[in-house]
Chains A and B, each alone.
Chain A
């Protein structure tokens, strides 16, 4: 069991509030404020995920591995050039090896493999966990949240077919695209309306624990008479109950190493952005809030594994019918540099570039938020984080080879940053993206040697 870490007073209050125990004076006596003790910062992983590939002409840096110049799309985060590692030319080899490389929808299949790197279970679902969940499980950090899944989209609700993260085969975790709900989850206070204040904090906490113990007992009582697949479903439920116990700090094992900058994000702004959903201008407002809360989740050490699932923003400058295209997705195809009919039309490509710029601006805001947050070890939160920018395609034509991915942050010095890694593509094939996942897990302190489909993975990613 991991020993309890000291917490900030704010952190402590939040726990108390989540229990309806605001004002309790002595319950967390052990949770004294962090003083000037020499601190080790936790390592963190943040997956930034976007759709539709990119325009390599404007994405690829020029120059050598260590001496390179950023391209146009990277300008929004040019100041963090030395924190970046461009990964140019990985392949989703696991997708090529899938027993059925194109079942159903190409977007879904790319999405299945992008983070899980294993045969699909069914057309919309991967046959195993995504890398972030493998890392979260390996870390077993016992932070409030084992992981957080945030989405950016201005659909009324984040589209479920773009839920990205899986804890296991077919077990998909929703991405939360509503900033107000994210706020409530991270900062909300669960004090019951009109309820009497509990007489004392300690017994109330014990009572909550007894409720969850009861629930676990009931799951055990009913679980013995189930089919294997139904039992797996209850197992996931049991895990969630266990996670709730940590979330509510009921068993004393909850860990938090918050930074000095950890503070409550403004609720009104989150709610305002939430209320904007579905309007043509909401993408950036929602992105701002989600980025802010993602950064704060790391800064407060609420979790060490987080994903930002960046669905399309309708704010991008596509005008219906532009260049004879029937819709935005059509224009993505038509401007794809390999076979798009409009790939040589500068105006059409410029319009598409405008769309990608929106993604890169969000990425820039994310890096800024992480870089401007001092970590517990005096460095920047970004320094102790690994940000992975991944996606389901390389370019707009559904290609899952020659990916244009990126890392930012060194994970506490585990990765050498400020590099442009252009991988050799011998025989038209680049290194497997699942090798990258092995390297990332290792950098995070999770000692795996293979990930996903073992036939597609040869170990760590060379050169990284």
Chain B
């Protein structure tokens, strides 16, 4: 799918002004700024980015628009908590399902919730800007809520609304509203909220039975905005001023960030005890949540969305004449292998350097041949973790799946590879070429054999192209040792490949020799660290950073840099940050 057959990853190309500059620019690297602008200026974009105000695909729908202006340097951040500009989030489809599964665990199976597809904004389905409610959503929310309410009415009233001998039905219902309301709304109900549910129960019961009244009340809770949205409304302050979130709101944020579901009973108890209003209290619970397998699922999903790992699947097709060993399931095997690498890098020492330089791979028989390592012993099921041959691989970028996905069907694609690194690792987005650019000429019959690099270099020698392609190809050429299926090579068409490259317009500018050297440079780049922190910010807070978020984001980036790229530490930094603990009064 990276080969854009007819599908183009629009979400990946949002030219948002902040990410175009990267945090390094904010830190004073004026040169980077002028280069990036120069590149985009060449193809006709207004300098300064998008004056109508967009923080990426759809972000301004949620943020009310952002200007194309540089965020302030941290030294200009005002005193006091800096939460930035939070946006209202709805449960993602996955969060909705997980939450219902947890709510009804031990009571009933939750019906399949075939919600409409989600919008992915700058790669992430957590982005609030893409969460427009439509009738299609409400039909499913209603259907599921109704089925669950009806099930409970018929089968499980005693479970959800236990009633002591002699207690009146109404008092049992009120106890149910209090206990289930707190579960469903993820906080104790306000008195008026409980009253409205109680009134609903009574009116439903009046036309039917206590059981149906309970079912209807449950159905209503599951359709309430307090359940479907992650509303944060405790406290009050002057407009624009920060408000500390309550412990229950923090519990909800923690749980959806780290587990993709509602708080469990331990977390809820910590909230009940108001123990989540200090960084220490938050860290205790965050560490506990991160020690659970549920956090692994979330970390995997973040990386899948950040690095577009969904592209490495059975859709990945190669020319079978050129690559006779390519099979229908090669792409999905490669995807599974990359997923395992992410898991391994994050949950071993969790260093960004490991993600970017480690030379292990997870192989089965088919991938072993691609990596040039012995096949796992007969009888081995799944994937074996192996060290790849010395000097050939460096981290996630050189995983066969990524290299194969960032390639065409016959040849590799330095442009896709360069843009990928710029977009996702350096947060420097290069706009698409203008319309009507003739495509890269293919080799002509009888023409002397050339390497991919030679063809690309010739095609981009035109000064109009060169402005951007110097940045793109300088990185992309560093991957010339990997062919279109991710195999290591030293020759292409019988000619020695040249994998020397150059960073231009970054904080690690200068030449490097091949992807292993490149990985080492990337691992030391503050710009890369800032970018990774920014990606987690976008994922975790459900918004593309607006200029007003600069002072909320920069402490998280600073913390990640100070830790030397500790990815687990980054999550802890994030949950203890102002952006996580405060909101601003609308």
Spell out A's residues near B (CB within 8 Å).
Answer: 20, 51-52, 99-108, 119-125, 127, 145-146, 149, 155, 157-163, 167, 169-176, 181, 184-185, 190, 192-196, 198-199, 203-204, 206-208, 210-212, 214-215, 217-219, 221-223, 225-230, 232-234, 236-237, 239-241, 243-244, 247-248, 278, 311-312, 314, 320-321, 324-330, 332-334, 338-339, 341, 397-400
**Residue B372, interface by CB 8 Å:** no
Question: Which residues does chain A contribute within 8 Å of B226, judged by CB atoms?
Answer: 218, 222
Question: Which residues does chain A contribute within 8 Å of B121, judged by CB atoms?
Answer: 124
The 6 closest A-B pairs by CB, nearest first: A170-B61, A195-B150, A312-B6, A227-B586, A122-B54, A161-B10
Q: List the A residue with the shortest CB-CB distance to B429.
A: A104
Q: List the B residue with the shortest CB-CB distance to A318.
A: B5
Does A225 contact B117, Cβ atoms closer than 8 Å? no
Does A234 contact B52, Cβ atoms closer than 8 Å? no
Does B55 contact A122, Cβ atoms closer than 8 Å? yes
Question: Which residues does chain B contribute within 8 Å of A341, judged by CB atoms?
Answer: 438-439, 441-442
Does B225 contact A218, Cβ atoms closer than 8 Å? yes
Q: Tell me the smallest distance from the CB of A451 to a CB of chain B, in Å.
A: 19
Q: Tell me the smallest distance from the CB of A322 to a CB of chain B, in Å.
A: 10
Question: Which residues does chain B contribute within 8 Å of A100, judged by CB atoms?
Answer: 45-46, 50-52
Contact of A214 among B13, B54, B133, B196 (CB under 8 A): B196
Does A229 contact B62, Cβ atoms closer than 8 Å? yes
Q: A237-B228, A321-B322, A333-B439 are in contact. List 7 more A-B contacts (CB 8 A).
A: A103-B15, A103-B45, A125-B58, A173-B136, A194-B154, A222-B233, A399-B436
How many angstroms from the CA of A400 to the CA of B61 in the assembled complex? 26
Does A122 contact B60, Cβ atoms closer than 8 Å? yes
How many angstroms from the CA of A190 to the CA of B226 in the assembled complex? 24
Does A221 contact B132, Cβ atoms closer than 8 Å? no
- Interface CB pairs A-B, < 8 A, 22: A20-B146, A105-B13, A124-B14, A124-B58, A125-B58, A163-B119, A167-B132, A172-B130, A185-B139, A192-B149, A194-B154, A195-B153, A196-B154, A221-B193, A221-B196, A229-B87, A240-B133, A243-B138, A247-B139, A278-B315, A327-B5, A341-B442
Q: List the B residue with the shortest CB-CB distance to A108.
A: B10
Among the listed stretches B204-212, B257-265, B381-389, B517-525, which one makes contact with chain A, having 4 or more residues with CB under 8 Å of it?
Answer: B204-212
Contact of A157 among B54, B117, B229, B314 (CB under 8 A): B117
Question: Which residues does chain B contribute within 8 Å of A234, judged by CB atoms?
Answer: 88, 225, 229
**A102-B44, A167-B132 are known contacts. Are A321 and B319 too (CB-CB below 8 A)?**
yes
Does A326 contact B410, Cβ atoms closer than 8 Å? yes
Contact of B151 among A193, A333, A398 (CB under 8 A): A193
How many angstroms from the CA of A123 to the CA of B121 in the assembled complex? 10
Question: Which residues does chain B contribute within 8 Å of A145, judged by CB atoms?
Answer: 135
Does B54 contact A123, Cβ atoms closer than 8 Å? yes
Q: Tell me the smallest distance from the CB of B235 to a CB of chain A, in Å.
A: 10
**Residue B64, interface by CB 8 Å:** yes
Does A211 contact B220, Cβ atoms closer than 8 Å? yes
Q: Tell me the smallest distance from the CB of B446 to a CB of chain A, in Å.
A: 13
Contact of A104 among B14, B87, B438 (CB under 8 A): B14
Question: Which residues does chain B contribute within 8 Å of A215, judged by CB atoms?
Answer: 220, 223-225
How many angstroms from the CA of A326 to the CA of B441 in the assembled complex? 10
Does A221 contact B192, Cβ atoms closer than 8 Å? yes
Does B432 contact A102, Cβ atoms closer than 8 Å? yes
Q: List the A residue with the shortest CB-CB distance to B219.
A: A211
Question: Which residues does chain B contribute within 8 Å of A229, judged by CB atoms?
Answer: 61-64, 87
Interface centre among A146, A330, A399 (most CB of B within 10 A): A330
Question: Which residues does chain B contribute within 8 Å of A159, judged by CB atoms?
Answer: 7
Contact of B196 among A51, A127, A161, A217 (CB under 8 A): A217
Contact of A211 among B7, B15, B200 (CB under 8 A): B200
The number of residues on chain B lying at the interface, defined by a beta carbon within 8 Å of a beta carbon of chain A, is: 108
Does A163 contact B117, Cβ atoms closer than 8 Å? yes
Q: Tell me the smallest distance from the CB of A352 to a CB of chain B, in Å.
A: 12
Does B13 contact A121, Cβ atoms closer than 8 Å? no
Does B3 contact A329, Cβ atoms closer than 8 Å? yes
How many angstroms from the CA of A273 to the CA of B151 in the assembled complex? 31
Interface centre among B50, B139, B431 (most CB of A within 10 A): B139
Does A210 contact B10, Cβ atoms closer than 8 Å? no
Does A326 contact B120, Cβ atoms closer than 8 Å? no
Question: Which residues does chain B contribute within 8 Å of A206, judged by CB atoms?
Answer: 207
Does A339 contact B438, Cβ atoms closer than 8 Å? yes
How many angstroms from the CA of A145 to the CA of B372 in the assembled complex? 57
Does B200 contact A210, Cβ atoms closer than 8 Å? yes
**Residue B373, interface by CB 8 Å:** no
Question: Which residues does chain A contribute within 8 Å of B349, judged by CB atoms?
Answer: none
**Residue B244, interface by CB 8 Å:** no
Question: Which residues does chain B contribute within 8 Å of A190, judged by CB atoms?
Answer: 143, 146-147
How many angstroms from the CA of A325 to the CA of B439 in the assembled complex? 10
Does B119 contact A172, Cβ atoms closer than 8 Å? yes
Q: Tell me the smallest distance from the CB of B270 to a CB of chain A, in Å.
A: 25
Does A171 contact B61, Cβ atoms closer than 8 Å? yes
Interface centre among B135, B432, B438 (most CB of A within 10 A): B135
Does A160 contact B132, Cβ atoms closer than 8 Å? no
Does B15 contact A210, Cβ atoms closer than 8 Å? no
How many angstroms from the CA of A68 to the CA of B134 in the assembled complex? 43
How many angstroms from the CA of A20 to the CA of B150 in the assembled complex? 10
Does B410 contact A321, Cβ atoms closer than 8 Å? yes
Q: Tell me the smallest distance from the CB of B69 to a CB of chain A, in Å.
A: 16
**Residue B77, interface by CB 8 Å:** no
Q: Tell me the smallest distance from the CB of B258 to a CB of chain A, in Å.
A: 24
Task: Please report which residues of chain B, range 348-394, place their CB below 8 angstroms from some CB of chain A when the two chains form the complex.
Answer: none
How many angstroms from the CA of A192 to the CA of B143 in the assembled complex? 8
Does A181 contact B114, Cβ atoms closer than 8 Å? yes
Q: List the A residue with the shortest CB-CB distance to B442.
A: A324
Question: Which residues does chain A contribute within 8 Å of B208, judged by CB atoms?
Answer: 198-199, 203-204, 207
Does B200 contact A214, Cβ atoms closer than 8 Å? yes
Question: Which residues does chain B contribute within 8 Å of A173, judged by CB atoms?
Answer: 116, 132, 134, 136
How many angstroms from the CA of A125 to the CA of B155 in the assembled complex? 46
Q: Tell me the smallest distance from the CB of A96 to a CB of chain B, in Å.
A: 11
Does A321 contact B200, Cβ atoms closer than 8 Å? no
Task: Please report which residues of chain B, range 306-324, place their CB below 8 angstroms from some CB of chain A when the two chains form the complex.
Answer: 314-315, 317-322
Question: Which residues does chain B contribute within 8 Å of A330, judged by CB atoms?
Answer: 408, 439
Contact of A103 among B50, B133, B203 (CB under 8 A): B50
Task: Please report which residues of chain B, range 121-165, place their CB below 8 angstroms from some CB of chain A when the two chains form the complex.
Answer: 121, 128-139, 142-143, 146-147, 149-151, 153-155
**Residue B434, interface by CB 8 Å:** yes
**Residue B409, interface by CB 8 Å:** yes
Question: Which residues does chain A contribute within 8 Å of B200, judged by CB atoms?
Answer: 210-211, 214
How many angstroms from the CA of A121 to the CA of B121 in the assembled complex? 13
Q: Tell me the smallest distance from the CB of A206 to a CB of chain B, in Å.
A: 7
How many angstroms from the CA of A121 to the CA of B45 in the assembled complex? 15
Contact of B207 among A107, A181, A207, A326 (CB under 8 A): A207
Question: Which residues does chain A contribute within 8 Å of B192, judged by CB atoms?
Answer: 221
Question: Which residues does chain B contribute within 8 Å of A212, judged by CB atoms?
Answer: 223
**A108-B13, A125-B58 are known contacts. Are A328 and B314 too (CB-CB below 8 A)?**
no
**Residue B175, interface by CB 8 Å:** no
Q: List the A residue with the shortest CB-CB distance to B55.
A: A122
Q: List the B residue with the shortest CB-CB distance to A230.
A: B88
Does A123 contact B131, Cβ atoms closer than 8 Å? no
Q: Tell me the smallest distance from the CB of A117 to a CB of chain B, in Å.
A: 16
Question: Which residues does chain A contribute within 8 Å of B114, judged by CB atoms?
Answer: 181, 184
How many angstroms from the CA of A176 to the CA of B138 in the assembled complex? 15
Task: Please report which residues of chain B, range 23-58, place their CB below 8 angstroms from some CB of chain A when the two chains form the complex.
Answer: 43-46, 50-52, 54-58
**A229-B63, A243-B138 are known contacts. Are A102 and B434 too (CB-CB below 8 A)?**
yes
How many angstroms from the CA of A369 to the CA of B467 in the assembled complex? 53
Question: Which residues does chain A contribute within 8 Å of B225, judged by CB atoms?
Answer: 215, 218-219, 222-223, 234, 237
**Residue B216, interface by CB 8 Å:** yes
**Residue B118, interface by CB 8 Å:** yes
Question: Which residues does chain A contribute within 8 Å of B60, judged by CB atoms?
Answer: 121-122, 170
Q: Tell me the smallest distance from the CB of B476 to a CB of chain A, in Å.
A: 15
**Residue B451, interface by CB 8 Å:** no
**A215-B220, A236-B132, A326-B442 are known contacts. Are A227 and B64 too (CB-CB below 8 A)?**
yes
Q: List the B residue with the shortest CB-CB distance to A163.
A: B119
